[in-house]
């Protein structure tokens, strides 16, 4: 039974891989993972380690590791960063490495426009030895290992209390040719995201946010939610994805240099994975890598 489930997940991955990137929820606290223009947004080094276990308990279900880091090169002007993602679903493993550079210009009082570019590669592997398949099926006779280049870009508009961004981390469609079968490894990806911080009481704020994912020939996916930030020490919020999933988002500022986050998601509609929940953990580190870097100021984005 497990091998059959793995086969179904693998086939689903081949069909849907080009439609959506791996899901993240920690973009709420680290938007750099979806938009290269965020690199160096704050005058410090910002590192992020995240682990996501989707549909926990489902054999072969998606697991995603993300290592992300960005830092300011010139105060409020230039930044650079690196995202390394490893995603596993069924028998397929994807490693995505992207380096980013950003530049910002002032367009009005306390408002800046940031531009970002990213480039790297995506390595896609699939090992069919654990599947229960017909011995003469030509599609599964050889394991797959493909490495392809990737290019992306993003823009970000920032003010004291809000951010608004658009990004295309996948600007080109990449396919793999196996015998006479063409498989899409990844397709163009587009993200709109925004957040706003409003003070609702002394030392208490609320941050509504949204993110929209788009891909050609694919139905749009969206997140909407809000987080309450207390005394600049912790955040607790709720969100939904397409009104099919409900989630709890938490963040704790352990110190100026260390933050920890946790996300819990559960399906709320009658779908196949409704008995399986999703967990996401993140560790955020801030450091003074350069002389002008600052880790004591409060960052809400």
3-state secondary structure 201-239: ECCEEEEEEEEEEECCCCCCEEEEEEEEEECCCEEEEEE
Closest CA to 44 of 198, 257, 218: 257
Residue 203 lies in a domain: no
Residue 123 lies in a domain: yes
Share of the chain above pLDDT 90, in %: 55
For residue 72, give the H/E element and its range.
strand 63-74
Summarize pLDDT for 83-139 with one digit per residue, the tens: 999 998 877 888 999 999 999 999 988 899 999 999 999 988 876 566 555 555 555
Residue 245 lies in a domain: no
For residue 167, give the H/E element and its range.
strand 162-170
Distance, in Å, from the CA atom of 38 to the CA atom of 101, rounded to the nearest integer, reads 9
pLDDT of 44 higher than 90: yes
Residue 295 lies in a domain: no
189: confidence class by pLDDT, cuts 50, 70, 90 = confident
Q: Is 134 exposed, middle or buried (0-12, 13-18, 19+ CB in 10 A)?
A: exposed
Print the domain residue range for 34: 2-194+254-287
What pLDDT, on the 0 to 100 scale, is given for residue 8?
42
Residue 187 lies in a domain: yes
Residue 60 lies in a domain: yes
CA distances from 98 to 6, 116, 227, 279 (A): 29, 12, 29, 25
pTM of the full predicted structure?
0.85
């Amino acid at each position: 039974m497990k091998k059959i489930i793995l086969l179904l997940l693998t086939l689903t991955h081949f069909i849907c891989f080009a439609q959506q990137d791996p899901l993240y929820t920690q973009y709420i606290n680290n938007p750099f993972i979806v938009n290269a223009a965020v690199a160096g947004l704050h005058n410090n080094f910002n590192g992020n380690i995240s682990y996501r276990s989707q549909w926990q308990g489902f054999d072969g279900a998606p697991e995603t590791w993300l290592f992300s880091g960005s830092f300011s090169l010139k105060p409020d002007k230039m930044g650079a960063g690196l995202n390394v993602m490893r995603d596993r679903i069924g028998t397929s493993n994807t490693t995505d490495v992207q380096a980013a550079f950003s530049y910002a210009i002032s367009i009005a009082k306390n408002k800046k426009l940031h531009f970002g570019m990213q480039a790297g590669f995506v390595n896609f592997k699939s090992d069919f030895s654990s599947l229960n398949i017909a011995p003469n099926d030509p599609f599964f006779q050889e394991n797959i290992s493909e490495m392809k280049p990737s290019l992306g870009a993003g823009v970000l508009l920032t003010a004291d209390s809000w951010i608004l961004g658009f990004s295309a981390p996948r600007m080109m469609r990449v396919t793999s040719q196996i015998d006479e079968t063409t498989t899409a490894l990844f397709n163009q990806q587009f993200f709109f995201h925004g957040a706003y911080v409003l003070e609702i009481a002394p030392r208490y704020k609320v941050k509504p946010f949204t993110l929209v994912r788009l891909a050609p020939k694919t139905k749009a996916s969206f997140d909407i939610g809000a987080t309450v930030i207390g005394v600049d020490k912790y955040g607790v919020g709720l969100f939904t994805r397409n009104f099919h999933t409900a989630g709890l988002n938490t963040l704790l500022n352990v110190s100026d240099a260390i933050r920890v986050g946790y996300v819990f998601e559960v399906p709320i509609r009658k779908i196949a994975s409704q008995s399986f929940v999703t967990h996401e953990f993140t560790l955020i580190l801030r450091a003074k890598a350069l002389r002008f870097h600052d880790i004591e100021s409060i960052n809400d984005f």
